[in-house]
């Protein structure tokens, strides 16, 4: 037995099966050395070390109390007595609680908001606050709620109890939610466990965070975007720290405007918003990984607003919809319209723009590609023109200027690229023996030909690696329009 593993062999003792554990005999290994005849030999002897457990089954360390029976963690009681209400004493009282994994974030954010208000009034650290002020009344309510923090408990183990002892764990996904209010931002992370039988899952709390908004106020969509940015960083850190195979990740937010920004082009926004969009979309897909949830179903909304201890337990339990099957989850809109009065959206300037002949009714190209100096410019113009096809003809003249002044989305640019690929393939003879060597096949969904080959063995997406088709199917697909 390795010396480091000896401490895990224990013998517990108690008078009756109903009584708590009183004494634990811990097996340790002591290694002694003797020198004789110039040679060094090792002799090991096993000893029993008696470890006494508390009678109430609770142990405290670093301001955290652990219940040895239920294997839960809670905050230890803090008794400071009466004190003069000053900024220094408020900070001292707030920092006396060990906010492990952020399980007290929704409660402790309230005294932080109070401290921020005191800074705005330019009050010194040791200046007493008047009892007749509204700030003193606010602190009395907060102080009363701080006495109930020992009600908040979190499970020490992230794996649900019903999966303990199993050799293979079920599928696990990482979910996070964010929200922002006038004074603070809240984020939370949970794990969802599902065994695949009925699709329902178990949710375990991982961590939560609360951050105050800057004194320089900004728009609510900006705050929501900043909350998503903080959540994306936290989820990346949690995912790298966990020794689990994460099936997929999902970010939930109640800001439809922020989702629209993440799905747009970063260069169409001011510098701050553009940098946030780039950092978030680098790690998370804005369509697959970021979802919309109503504010009344977003439990992390409690953290951003500041709540009592009883309401913080709802945050630890996690979103209710995650316990149901995915088909019962909130639905994210596929097409998010651009807000016309959005101050964060840059406008496309049409000053000195060239007049182009547009034809959307014939098979001819809608514009002459020879008039464009680069492929990027051709795609941008084509994407704006194709955005008009969803409008009735009677509204073309009225809304054409508005549509052409909007920056095209990534989906519209992809459609423009596909359009010009189809136009270029019209002049290609796919029955040519030189073309057949490339194993072309028809993509029915996109209505264009793709090139196959051995690249299908590479771990790439469908748009990057094109799947080959048999030669007998090639001749049939070549006759397709």
* Residues 303 and 223 both lie in one domain: yes
Same domain, 88 and 105: yes
Q: Which of 52, 70, 90 corresponds to the end of one domain?
A: 52
User: Per-residue confidence of the chain (481 residues) as pLDDT tens digits?
Assistant: 565 565 556 666 566 666 666 555 555 544 333 333 333 444 444 455 555 556 567 777 777 888 888 889 998 877 767 788 999 999 988 888 889 899 999 999 999 999 999 988 888 899 999 989 899 999 999 988 888 888 899 998 999 988 887 878 889 999 999 999 999 999 999 999 998 767 788 999 999 999 999 888 888 999 999 999 999 999 999 999 998 899 999 999 999 999 989 988 777 788 889 999 999 999 999 989 999 999 999 999 999 999 998 899 999 999 999 999 999 999 998 877 666 566 666 654 444 444 444 554 456 787 888 888 888 888 888 887 777 766 666 665 555 555 555 677 778 888 888 888 888 777 777 777 777 777 677 777 777 777 766 655 556 565 555 433 333 333 333 344 3
The tokens of 154 are what?
């979190």
The position carrying tokens 């596909």 is: 418
In 195-263, beta strands by DSSP E? 202-212, 246-253
The answer to whether the CB of 307 falls within 8 A of the CB of 179 is: no
Q: Looking at the structure, do residues 310 and 391 belong to the same domain, yes or no?
A: no
What gap in Å lies between CA 203 and CA 193, rounded to an integer? 6
Which residues pair with residue 442 across a beta bridge?
A: 449
* Token pair listed for 247: 């099936």
Q: Is residue 202 part of a domain?
A: yes
Q: Which of 227, 202, 199 is nearest to 212 (CA)?
A: 227
What would the two tokens of residue 383 be?
């994407």
- CA 143/CA 138 separation, integer angstroms: 9
Same domain, 35 and 106: no
Residue 191 CA neighbour count, 13 Å, CB half: 22
Structural domain includes residue 354: no
Q: Cα–Cα distance between 158 and 193 in angstroms, integer? A: 10
Q: Is the distance from CB of 180 to CB of 226 less than 8 angstroms?
A: yes
Shared domain for 24 and 87, answered yes or no, is no
Q: Do residue 11 and residue 81 come from a single domain?
A: no
CA distance linking residue 228 with residue 303, whole number of Å? 14
Same domain? For 187 and 316 the reply is: yes
Strand partners, 194: 171
97 and 77 both lie in a single domain: yes
Q: Where are the beta strands (DSSP E) in 238-378?
A: 246-253, 290-292
Same domain, 254 and 278: yes
Bridge partner list, 450: 441
Tell me: do 280 and 205 sit in the same domain.
yes
- What does the radius of gyration of the chain's CA atoms come to, in whole angstroms? 31
Residue pair 451/466 in contact (Cβ under 8 Å)? The answer is yes
**Is 116 domain-assigned?**
yes
Sign of CA dihedral 7, 8, 9, 10: positive
Judge whether 157 lies within some domain: no
Contacts of 254 (CB under 8 A, 6+ apart): 179, 224, 292, 293, 294, 295, 298, 301
**Neighbour-count burial of 106, counting CB atoms closer than 10 A to its CB (0-12 exposed, 13-18 middle, 19+ buried):** buried
- Report if residue 212 sits inside a domain: yes
Instruction: Give the residue from 131, 158, 176 showing the smallest Cα distance to 289.
Output: 176
In a domain, residue 343? The reply is no
Name the domain boundary from 295, 328, 361. 328
Domain residues for 394?
A: 369-425
Confirm whether 192 is domain-assigned: yes
> Is 236 domain-assigned?
yes
CA distance 134 to 206: 36
Angstrom distance (rounded) from CA 48 to CA 71: 25
Q: Does residue 185 sit in the same domain as residue 268?
A: yes
- Side by side, the strands of the sheet bearing 246-253 are 202-212, 184-194, 171-180, 246-253, 290-292
* Total domains in the fold of the chain: 5
DSSP string, 175-195: EEEEEE-SSEEEEEEEEEEE-
């Amino acid at each position: 037995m390795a010396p480091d593993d000896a401490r895990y062999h224990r013998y517990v003792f108690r008078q009756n099966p109903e009584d708590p554990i009183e004494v634990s005999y811990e097996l340790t290994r002591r290694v002694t050395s003797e020198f004789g005849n110039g040679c060094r030999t090792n002799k090991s002897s096993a000893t029993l070390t008696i470890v006494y457990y508390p009678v109430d089954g609770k142990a405290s360390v670093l301001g955290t109390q652990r219940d040895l029976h239920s294997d839960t963690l809670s905050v230890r009681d803090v008794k400071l007595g009466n004190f003069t209400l000053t900024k220094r004493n408020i900070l001292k009282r707030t920092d006396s609680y060990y906010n492990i994994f952020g399980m007290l974030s929704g409660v402790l954010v309230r005294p932080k908001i109070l401290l921020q208000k005191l800074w705005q009034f330019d009050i010194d650290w040791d200046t007493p606050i008047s009892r007749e002020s509204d700030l003193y009344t606010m602190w009395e309510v907060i102080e009363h709620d701080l006495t109930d923090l020992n009600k908040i408990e979190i499970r020490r183990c992230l794996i649900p109890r019903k999966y303990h002892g199993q050799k293979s764990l079920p599928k696990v996904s990482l979910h996070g939610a964010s929200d922002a209010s006038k004074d603070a931002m809240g984020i939370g992370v949970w794990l969802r466990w599902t065994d695949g039988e009925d699709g329902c899952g178990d949710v375990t709390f991982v961590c939560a965070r609360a951050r105050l908004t800057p004194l320089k106020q900004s728009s609510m969509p900006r705050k929501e975007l900043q909350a998503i940015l903080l959540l994306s960083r936290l989820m990346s850190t949690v995912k790298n720290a966990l020794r689990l195979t994460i099936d997929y990740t999902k970010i939930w937010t109640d800001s439809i405007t922020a989702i629209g920004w993440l799905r747009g082009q970063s260069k169409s926004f001011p510098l701050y918003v553009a940098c946030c969009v780039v950092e978030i979309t680098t790690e998370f897909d804005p369509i697959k990984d970021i979802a919309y949830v109503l504010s009344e179903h977003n439990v992390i909304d409690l953290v951003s607003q500041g709540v009592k201890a009883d309401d913080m337990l709802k945050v630890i339990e996690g979103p209710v919809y995650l316990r149901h099957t995915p088909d019962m989850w909130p639905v994210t809109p596929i097409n998010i319209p651009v807000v016309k009065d959005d101050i964060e959206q840059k406008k496309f300037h049409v000053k000195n723009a060239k007049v182009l002949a547009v034809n959307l009714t014939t098979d001819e190209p809608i514009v002459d590609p020879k008039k464009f100096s680069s492929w990027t410019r051709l795609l941008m113009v084509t994407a704006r023109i194709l955005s008009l096809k969803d409008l009735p003809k009677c509204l073309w003249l009225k809304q054409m200027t508005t549509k052409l002044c909007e920056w095209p989305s990534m989906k519209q640019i992809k459609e423009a690229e596909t359009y010009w690929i189809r136009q270029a393939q019209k002049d290609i003879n796919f029955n040519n023996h030189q073309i057949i060597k490339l194993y072309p096949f028809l993509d029915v969904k996109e209505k264009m030909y793709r090139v196959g080959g051995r690249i299908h063995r590479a771990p790439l997406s469908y748009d990057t690696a094109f799947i080959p088709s048999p030669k007998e199917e090639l001749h049939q697909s070549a006759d397709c329009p």
